[in-house]
Structure 1
Amino acid sequence: MSFAEQMREQTTKTYTENGAAARNTSGDARLDLFASIGSLRSADPERIELLFAEAYRADPLFALKILFYVRDIREGLGERCVFRILLQYLAKYHPQDVIANLDLIGVYGRFDDWYCLVGTRVENEMWKAMKQQLEADLKNFREGKSVSLLAKWIKTADSKREETRKLGILTAQKLGYPVYNFKRIVRSLRKYIGVLEVKMSEGKWEEIVYPEVSGRAMMIYRNAFLRHDMERFDRYLMNALEGKEKIHAETLYPYDLVEKILYFNPWDEIMEAQWRQLPDYVAKETNAIVVADVSGSMWIRPMATAIGLAIYFAERNRGAYHNLFMTFSEKSEFVSLKGETLEQKVQCVKSVGWGMNTNLQAAFEHVLETARDHDVPPEEMPKALIVVSDMEIDACVDENWMFYDHMKEKYEYSGYRLPNVVFWNVNSRHDLFHVDSKRKGVQLYSGESVTTFRNLLSNIDTTPAEAMEQIIESERYACVRTGDAEEKM
């Protein structure tokens, strides 16, 4: 290895907040972005932009696909804030890439994502795209055909919030309508597509079709439904709990429900019905265990995320590990879920010891010692350990030895193969990776969405880079394009 290569290698070394040796890059800038982007809600915009810039420098099209994966509400991570930060970054440095994909923003996200482009180099193109969509919707409206959800998210001047009101006036002006006429046009479209808030403001509670209310709106307006339409709403809830009626939950995260039980509101039937109808991405026997970080650094949302994902996976796993998972902090514990409701299951997890340390080594040794002490055959071991954490783990015995390498050697010394390891980051505070991009039998994910389970279960025993490529190069993101490609068409 040359001196220059040694210099580069040494710049990749870092340590966790608790002293464990790690890397500040996976060796693949695309993977650095992919494995962090879902856990950057609290990160500085500068760090988010730098991660994206490095990935874009390596592969512009792949980086753009990751961007739309992170925003993808239904099949991706559903992250809004990070997407908008990076959309503004692209508008500043690569405006043609934004222009080439303006039509996709409302497909993967929401039409109000367009507004983050106000004041950027692509603002005029954004208004053109919005006007084109509005005119198409008005044409379909007049012909009795289906229309987009633009009218739901477009800003109008009748908002109570000053910022939204100003955007509403600007929108009317940019689209070429008098402000009053524009409000009337948008209101007609909102009635046509059945926007919930219109029916509520007009007191038409009896017209609300509860199985069509989005999961997020149900959480926001449930008290209003109970107050104004108690008998009908109660009847709907009972049917939803019994699985006879649909209650939307596909855009919710487990933490949306678990966080309220842990810290804020008491459990109620609406939360229970939504939990039961979260999409099932574990609908088969799965030889895997979630290892949830319950240490002090995970407090509030990361903790709710880890516990929520652990309960979600354990109760939906039809295999030998049904209702089983692990936790770790100062020590590691096996958890057997008890209870019928989500609240009971969360209370069950709260009875487990939570400490300040992040001793992931204890969890892996707990698995190994249990197997060794009870002569468990290698073929009966879990195939995968899914570590849900902020990755700020404690140091191993040798602080210069990276965690994965240390565990791999310990398992092999005892005659066992280290199970496939998934490192799922739910709160990335700095660039931190426990393996490189080519390590077979390890995958790196981030975020808070249960859709990740579907992806990770189909990529066991791959490398981190292969697992990422399986998602990002899928047909789902084939329509994303660069500005250069748009110019050549």
Structure 2
Amino acid sequence: MMQHSPRTRFDRKHCRVIRVIKRENRPKKEKIVKTLQEFNEEKEKARVLRKERELAKAKKALDKYNLDLNYRFLHDQISDLFAELLKSDIGNLNSGKHNKISLAAKWCPTIDSSYDKSTLICESIARKLFPRESDPEYEGIEEAHYVYRIRDRLRKQVLVPLHKALELPEVFMSANEWNSLPYNRVASVAMKTYKELFLKHDNDRFKEYLENVKSGKAKIAAGALLPHEIIGALDDDDGGEVAELQWKRMVEDLAKEGKLTNCIAICDVSGSKVITFSANPELHKVEGDTLLEKTQFVRKMEWGMNTDFQKVFDRILEVAVEGKLSEDQMIKRIFVFSDMEFDQASARSEDIEEAYEGSEDIDENNWETDYKVIMRKFREKGYSKVPEIVFWNLRNSSSTPVAAKQSGVALVSGFSKNLLTIFLEGGGAVNPEDVMEIAISGDGYKKLVLVD
């Protein structure tokens, strides 16, 4: 009988084991293949469904654009604005004027984003940047291919190079390139939002940048921030250092652009001096070396539910006479910042009531009577003009307690940087009609048509 070596017996046994394993694994392999097939089928169904939804969104956007005239007007205005700015920015980029590039590329909707698919806004922008007649290669090609080409050009030839030129902080942050982040290019709102991250990830460089801003070697942006937003950041983890620098930049920018001189405030904000809002108003020089110290000083001042404007003018006149101020040096405008209406904030002096008791000159309009007395007092002291009052109700209100032709008073209601800008750029227009004219004189209003 043939004898098998131990090696041969092992090999045969090993082969039988392998065959058994293969038979056992065959169902598992088939199951895996089936699962993969099902997964691919579901994936394809999801792709088709997603495509159908995108087409439905596009159709809905087109229908709304074609049928809703108001929406079409808004859509066209937005796409016109982006196209105009992006075209200008590319021109500035190509000519090396990087400092004149706007943030249009940053805020332009992302191509193929959900917003873009729901509005087709990127296609509209691309059509205006690259119309068919702008390039011979667009002649004769199908509409779908033309749209694909111009959207691709918008992305590659406009947005990508502008994003790179803008040196947006988000680009460096997402790439974890903190040590390359150019802080002098960070916008005001982004600086306010990200400053704590800058301190955490790039402490030494960021602090060095702040020191350079203090010494005038670098600049910090503040244009998009409102005063209360900067003051609100004084208690942040950086100790208010960024807020301090942004406040100084804001004041410098407003002073350069504005035409207002010789003004004073009855409120809790002013460049150097304020008059307290109370029945016995006092003139204060705002003390403190830092913005935080100045705000703390103002918050501790006396205040009341209303103010006696007669006493305000009396105090101004008293200081002017004592200081022997000329007509040109006299306060020209008084800003009253409050959350009340003008008639609620005004309190009549007892001496006015006594002086006009029983007189026909006194009427129901307290301010008209007060203003006559104020004018007389100023004339007696040699000043022909009385400071004008701009009463700014910081709380939104639809009421108009001061008439458009009210003597010496203009009313502003609500709180926004645009209102402040209107006054600064308009040379401090105090006639409400003038304020309205300035407000609606921008390019955005020129295309509007008055329908009677």
Residue equivalent to 1:443:
410
* RMSD after superposition: 4.5
Matched residues in 2 for 1:131 and 1:455: separation?
25
Residue equivalent to 2:446:
481
| Alignment map for 1:161-200 (pairs within 5 Å) | 166-170=114-118, 175=123, 176=147, 185=156, 186=159, 189-200=162-173
Deviation string for 1:90-114 (max 9, x for gaps)?
A: x99xx87x7xxxxxxxxxxxxxxxx
Which of 97, 106, 112 is the matching residue for 1:152? 106
Q: Taking structure 1 as the reference length, what is the TM-score of the superposition?
A: 0.55
Residue equivalent to 1:238:
211
| Alignment map for 1:257-336 (pairs within 5 Å) | 257-261=230-234, 267-278=239-250, 279-282=252-255, 286-292=261-267, 307=268, 310-311=269-270, 314=271, 323-329=272-278, 331-336=280-285
Matched residues in 1 for 2:213 and 2:425: separation?
28
Q: Compute the displacement of 1:187 (Å).
A: 5.2
Q: What amino acid is the match of 2:367?
A: Y
Deviates more, 1:329-338 or 1:236-245: 329-338
Matched residues in 1 for 2:220 and 2:103: separation?
20
Q: What amino acid is the match of 2:421?
A: T
Which of 161, 168, 174 is the matching residue for 1:201? 174
Matched, 1:424 2:424: no
Residue equivalent to 1:43:
none
Aligned-residue identity in percent: 26
Matched residues in 2 for 1:134 and 1:371: separation?
50
Q: What amino acid is the match of 2:368?
A: D
Matched residues in 1 for 2:405 and 2:182: separation?
50
Matched, 1:219 2:187: no
Q: Compute the displacement of 1:387 (Å).
A: 1.4
More helix by share: 2
| Alignment map for 1:69-84 (pairs within 5 Å) | none
Residue equivalent to 2:424:
454
Q: Cα distance 1:212–1:368, how it changes in 2: closer, same or farther (>3 A)?
A: same
8 Å CA contact 1:141, 1:189 repeated in 2: no
8 Å CA contact 1:127, 1:174 repeated in 2: no
Q: Compute the displacement of 1:220 (Å).
A: 0.6
Q: Compute the displacement of 1:333 (Å).
A: 3.1
Matched residues in 2 for 1:226 and 1:208: separation?
12
Q: Cα distance 1:335–1:260, how it changes in 2: closer, same or farther (>3 A)?
A: farther
Q: What amino acid is the match of 2:405?
A: K
Matched, 1:402 2:373: no
Q: Compute the displacement of 1:265 (Å).
A: 6.9
Matched residues in 2 for 1:405 and 1:131: separation?
49
8 Å CA contact 1:387, 1:423 repeated in 2: yes
Matched residues in 1 for 2:116 and 2:260: separation?
51
Q: Compute the displacement of 1:332 (Å).
A: 2.7
Matched residues in 2 for 1:345 and 1:236: separation?
24
Q: Compute the displacement of 1:349 (Å).
A: 0.5
Q: Compute the displacement of 1:189 (Å).
A: 4.8
Any unmatched runs of 5+ in structure 2?
Answer: 1-63, 124-146, 354-361, 380-384
Deviation string for 1:37-87 (max 9, x for gaps)?
A: xxxxxxxxxxxxxxxxxxxxxxxxxxxxxxxxxxxxxxxxxxxxxxxxxxx
Matched residues in 2 for 1:430 and 1:169: separation?
39
Any unmatched runs of 5+ in structure 1?
Answer: 1-90, 99-119, 159-164, 293-306, 315-322
Residue equivalent to 1:368:
314
Matched residues in 2 for 1:143 and 1:329: separation?
58
Q: What amino acid is the match of 1:342?
A: L
Q: Cα distance 1:324–1:135, how it changes in 2: closer, same or farther (>3 A)?
A: closer
8 Å CA contact 1:241, 1:273 repeated in 2: yes
Q: Compute the displacement of 1:388 (Å).
A: 1.9
Q: Cα distance 1:226–1:482, how it changes in 2: closer, same or farther (>3 A)?
A: same
Q: Cα distance 1:264–1:372, how it changes in 2: closer, same or farther (>3 A)?
A: same
Matched residues in 2 for 1:427 and 1:143: separation?
46
Highest RCO, 1 vs 2 (Cα 8 Å, sep ≥ 6) = 1
Q: What amino acid is the match of 1:438?
A: K
Matched residues in 2 for 1:273 and 1:250: separation?
12
Q: What amino acid is the match of 2:115?
A: L
Q: Cα distance 1:441–1:459, how it changes in 2: closer, same or farther (>3 A)?
A: farther
Matched residues in 2 for 1:381 and 1:140: separation?
48
Q: Cα distance 1:396–1:381, how it changes in 2: closer, same or farther (>3 A)?
A: same
Q: Compute the displacement of 1:442 (Å).
A: 3.4
Matched, 1:255 2:228: yes
Q: Taking structure 2 as the reference length, what is the TM-score of the superposition?
A: 0.59
Q: What amino acid is the match of 1:465?
A: E
| Alignment map for 1:133-144 (pairs within 5 Å) | none
8 Å CA contact 2:333, 2:389 repeated in 1: yes
How many correspondences in the alignment? Answer: 328
| Alignment map for 1:29-178 (pairs within 5 Å) | 120-122=71-73, 125=76, 129=80, 149-156=103-110, 166-170=114-118, 175=123, 176=147
Matched, 1:463 2:431: yes
Matched residues in 1 for 2:262 and 2:211: separation?
34
Q: What amino acid is the match of 1:252?
A: L
Secondary structure of 1:353's partner? coil
Matched residues in 2 for 1:407 and 1:439: separation?
12
8 Å CA contact 2:309, 2:346 repeated in 1: no
Q: Compute the displacement of 1:423 (Å).
A: 2.1
Q: Compute the displacement of 1:470 (Å).
A: 5.5
Q: Compute the displacement of 1:155 (Å).
A: 3.0
Residue equivalent to 1:72:
none
